[in-house]
Amino acid sequence: MNRNLSGFLPPFFLVELARRNPTNTSYLETLVQTQKLWLKGEQTFLPFGKGKSDRFSHDAENKEDLPGKLVRGENDPAAKDELINRAHQFAQEIRDFYKTHFNRNGPDGNGDNIVQTMHYGLKYNNAYFSVQMVYGDGDGDIFMTFMIRDVAGHEIGHWFVSTTCKLVYWKESGALNEHMADVLGVCLNQWVAKQTVEQADWLVGAGLFNPKLTGCRALRDMVNPGTAYNHPRLGKDPQPAHMRDFVDTWSDNGGVHYNSGIPNRAFALFAKSLGGYVWEKALQIWFGTALRASSNCTFQEWADLTVKVAQANYPETVDKLKTAWSTVGITVK
C-alpha cells in the first residue's frame, strides 16, 4: 500500500476535528483536496531534473493549480512573501542535511529537484508530499501554520523512505515509514539548531496549533507518545508508547500514525542515553537500518537490524540500544 491520501495530518485526525468542530468544513475539504493532490501526483505533472537538486518555490495563490507561480529558483533573490522564503530555506537545509550526514545527493539520492508550492488551496489544513512539497495555510483557527521545519523534514523524509527501503504503508511497516519520517524531521531540527539530545524537545509539529489551545504542544511527542495534545476541540493524542498498547485496527492503514509512537520512543530514548548530538551515532544507525530493511519490515525485524548495524559500527552503543527497545516492549536477542 502507498501513502497516497495522507499528508502530515492523518485522515483520522481530520475526521475527528470535523466531528468536534461541525461548523468548520475545512477539515473534510482538506481530505478531498489531499485526494486531488494524490491524483495529480500519480499523473507525474512535474518534470524533475537529474543531478542538481535545485530548489523551485511556487505560490499557488490559494488556488489548487500546481505547481503555481514560480517565485524563487535556486539562486533567485528573496521574495516579498516570507513563507516562500522560509520554505526555500527549509529546502536548502534539507538538501544540506542529507549531504552532510548521509553523503546523499538530495533526499532521493539522485539529485532530483526540490519543487514546492506554498498557499495551496483555501484553508488547506495540511502539508503534503507526492512528487513535490505542498503547504496549506491552515484555517487560522486550530492550525496557524504548516510552514514548520520538521514538518517539511517529515514529509520529504517519506521521499527518502520511498527510495531506500520502500516500507509498505500498512500496519508495522507503515508505522516504521511514519517513524522514519519523524526521525528525519526531528533530527533536521536539532541539526539546524545545533541542539544536543538533552536540549531538544523531541516534538513533531511544535507551533502547528493555535497557542490559545491549552494542552496542545505538537502533533506528536517522541519521548512521551500520547501526550502531545489533549483538548476538547481536538481530542487526545492516541499514540501508544509500548507494545502492550499496540493499536490493532484496519483504519489509518492499519494504525500507521498510532503505532509509530512505539519506535519513536525507542529512538528518542536511545539517543538521549548516548548524549551529545543525535546525528553522531543514533541517526547513523537508523540510516544504516533503512538501507538494509525489507519493504515489509516488522518492528522486531527493524529493532534486530538496528542492533546489527550498531554492532558493526558503534559496538559501545549496543547495550543502550537493547535497553531502549526493551523499554517499549521489544526484546532483541
Helix, strand or coil for residue 145?
Answer: coil
- 316 CB neighbour count, 10 Å cutoff: 9
**pLDDT, averaged across the chain:** 94
CA of residue 208 relative to chain centroid, distance? 13
Mean pLDDT of 311-325: 98
d(Cα 247, Cα 12) in Å, to the nearest integer? 14
The cell numbers describing 166, all together, are 520502500
According to CATH, the topology of domain 171-327 is Neutral Protease; domain 2 (1.10.390)
Low-confidence winner among 80-94, 100-114, 298-312 (lowest mean pLDDT): 100-114
86: nearest Cα among 118, 109, 128, 111: 118
**pLDDT for res 131:** 82
Instruction: State what percent of residues in the chain have pLDDT above 70.
Output: 96
**Residues 106-128: tens digit of each pLDDT:** 999 989 999 999 999 999 999 99
Quickly tell me which residue has 525507542 as its cell.
266
142: nearest Cα among 75, 84, 229, 63: 229
From residue 40, alpha-carbon distances to 57, 113, 138, 203, 264 in Å are 18, 18, 21, 31, 31
pLDDT of residue 51 exceeding 90, the answer is no
- What is 125-158 written as a DSSP string? --EEESSSEEE----SSSB-----HHHHHHHHHH
**pLDDT tier at 333 (50, 70, 90 boundaries)?**
confident
CB 121 within 8 A of CB 33: yes
Quickly tell me which residue has 537500518 as its cell.
289
**pLDDT tier at 3 (50, 70, 90 boundaries)?**
confident
**Residues 138-167: tens digit of each pLDDT:** 999 999 999 999 999 999 999 999 999 999
From residue 177, alpha-carbon distances to 15, 123, 183, 276 in Å are 22, 27, 10, 26
Domain segments of the chain: what residues? 11-162, 171-327
Q: Which residues are catalytic?
A: 155, 257
According to CATH, the topology of domain 11-162 is Elastase; domain 1 (3.10.170)
Helix (H) or strand (E) run with residue 55 in it: strand 55-59
